Structure 1
Amino acid sequence: MARARNTDVERSLGRRMRGAAGLAALAGLAWVARDVPAALGGRLSGARAERAARSPQFREGTFHNRAGTRTMIAEPGRNLLRELIFGKQKRRPTAPVPLLRPSVGAPQSSDTADELNIVWYGHASTLIEIEGRRVLLDPVWSDRCSPSGLVGPRRLHEPPVGIDELPPLDAILISHDHYDHLDMATVRALLAGQSAPFLVPLGVGAHLDRWGVPAERIIELDWSESHRVAGLEITATAAQHFSGRGLRRDGTLWSSWVVAGARRRVFYTGDSGYFDGYAEIGAEHGPFDVTLMQIGAYDRAWPTIHMFPEEAVSAHLDLRGGLFVPVHWATFNLALHDWSEPVDRLWAEAKARDVRLAVPRPGERVVVDEPPAVDGWWQAIA
Structure 2
Amino acid sequence: MTRRRLLALLAAPGLTAAAWFTNARARNAYYEGPVTDHFDGLRFFNPDLPWTKTPFEAFRALALAEKAKWPAKWPSPFRDRPPRRVDGAALRVVAVGHATHLIQAAGLNILTDPVWSERCSPVSFTGPKRVCPPGIAFDDLPPIDVVLLSHNHYDHMDVATLSALAARDQPRVIVPLGNDAILKAHDPAIRAEAYDWGDRVPLSADVATTLRPAYHWSARGVADRRKALWCAFALDAGAAGRVYIAGDTGFGPAANFPAAREAHGPFRLAILPIGAYEPRWFMKDQHMNPEDAVEAMQLLGAEQAIGCHWGVFQLTAEAIDAPAKELAAALKARGMSPERFRALRPGEVWESSAP
Q: TM-score range by the shorter chain?
A: 0.7 to 0.9
Contact kept, 8 Å, 2:163 with 2:189, in 1: the verdict is no
Q: Which letter does structure 1 place at the counterpart of 2:244?
A: F
Distance in 1, Cα, partners of 2:345 & 2:219: 30
Task: Report the secondary structure of 2:161's partner residue.
Answer: helix
Contact kept, 8 Å, 2:243 with 2:269, in 1: the verdict is yes
Change (3 A) 1:189 1:314: same
Distance in 1, Cα, partners of 2:259 & 2:50: 19
Contact kept, 8 Å, 2:32 with 2:41, in 1: the verdict is no
Q: TM-score, normalised by structure 2?
A: 0.83
Q: Which letter does structure 2 place at the counterpart of 1:360?
A: L
Q: Measure how far apart 1:279 and its partner are.
A: 0.8
Query: Matches of residues 294-373 of structure 1 in structure 2 within 5 Å?
Result: 294-299=273-278, 300=280, 301-353=282-334, 354=336, 356-368=340-352
Q: Which letter does structure 2 place at the counterpart of 1:219?
A: E
Number of aligned residue pairs: 321
Aligned pair 1:59/2:40, yes or no?
yes
Q: Measure how far apart 1:160 and its partner are.
A: 2.7
Distance in 1, Cα, partners of 2:35 & 2:265: 28
For structure 1, which runs of at least 5 residues remain unmatched after alignment? 1-32, 371-382
Change (3 A) 1:79 1:59: closer
Contact kept, 8 Å, 1:99 with 1:160, in 2: the verdict is no
Task: Report the secondary structure of 1:150's partner residue.
Answer: coil
Contact kept, 8 Å, 2:257 with 2:300, in 1: the verdict is yes
Change (3 A) 1:98 1:206: same
Q: Which letter does structure 2 place at the counterpart of 1:100?
A: F
Aligned pair 1:249/2:225, yes or no?
yes
Task: Report the secondary structure of 1:288's partner residue.
Answer: coil
If each structure's helix is expressed as a fraction of its own residues, which one has the higher value? 1
Q: Measure how far apart 1:352 and its partner are.
A: 2.7
Task: Report the secondary structure of 1:206's partner residue.
Answer: helix
Distance in 2, Cα, partners of 1:168 & 1:253: 28
Distance in 1, Cα, partners of 2:167 & 2:28: 24
Q: Measure how far apart 1:366 and its partner are.
A: 1.4
Q: Which letter does structure 2 place at the counterpart of 1:312?
A: A
Query: Match of 2:237?
Result: 261
Of 123, 131, 138, the match for 1:163: 138
Of 61, 65, 76, the match for 1:98: 76
Q: TM-score, normalised by structure 1?
A: 0.77
Query: Matches of residues 1-80 of structure 1 in structure 2 within 5 Å?
Result: 45=29, 49-51=31-33, 53-70=34-51, 72=53
Q: Measure how far apart 1:79 and its partner are.
A: 7.1
Of 225, 240, 259, the match for 2:199: 225
Q: Measure how far apart 1:149 and its partner are.
A: 0.6
Distance in 2, Cα, partners of 1:135 & 1:289: 16
Change (3 A) 1:80 1:361: closer
Task: Report the secondary structure of 2:259's partner residue.
Answer: helix
Of 122, 135, 152, the match for 2:97: 122
State the structure with more CA Rg: 1
Aligned pair 1:197/2:172, yes or no?
yes
Query: Match of 1:290?
Result: 269
Query: Match of 2:210?
Result: 235
Change (3 A) 1:178 1:59: same
Q: Measure how far apart 1:54 and its partner are.
A: 4.6
For each residue in 1:55-87, what CA deviation from the matched residue of structure 2 results, as whole angstroms up to 9, or x when unmatched? 431104100102233364788xx8764434xx5
Change (3 A) 1:229 1:280: same
Task: Report the secondary structure of 2:201's partner residue.
Answer: strand
Change (3 A) 1:279 1:83: same
Query: Match of 1:373?
Result: none
Query: Match of 1:147?
Result: 122
Change (3 A) 1:342 1:79: closer
Distance in 2, Cα, partners of 1:213 & 1:164: 23
Distance in 1, Cα, partners of 2:200 & 2:61: 43
Contact kept, 8 Å, 2:28 with 2:42, in 1: the verdict is no
Contact kept, 8 Å, 2:81 with 2:140, in 1: the verdict is no
For structure 2, which runs of at least 5 residues remain unmatched after alignment? 1-8, 15-26
Q: Which letter does structure 1 place at the counterpart of 2:225?
A: R
Distance in 1, Cα, partners of 2:62 & 2:226: 23
Q: Measure how far apart 1:199 and its partner are.
A: 0.1
Distance in 2, Cα, partners of 1:125 & 1:221: 20
Q: Measure how far apart 1:162 and its partner are.
A: 2.7
RMSD (Å) for aligned C-alpha atoms: 2.6
Q: Which letter does structure 1 place at the counterpart of 2:215?
A: Q
Contact kept, 8 Å, 2:121 with 2:128, in 1: the verdict is yes
For each residue in 1:241-291, what CA deviation from the matched residue of structure 2 results, as whole angstroms up to 9, or x when unmatched? 000001120000000001112221111111111121111111111111110
Change (3 A) 1:79 1:304: closer
For each residue in 1:218-243, what CA deviation from the matched residue of structure 2 results, as whole angstroms up to 9, or x when unmatched? 22111110110123111100101000
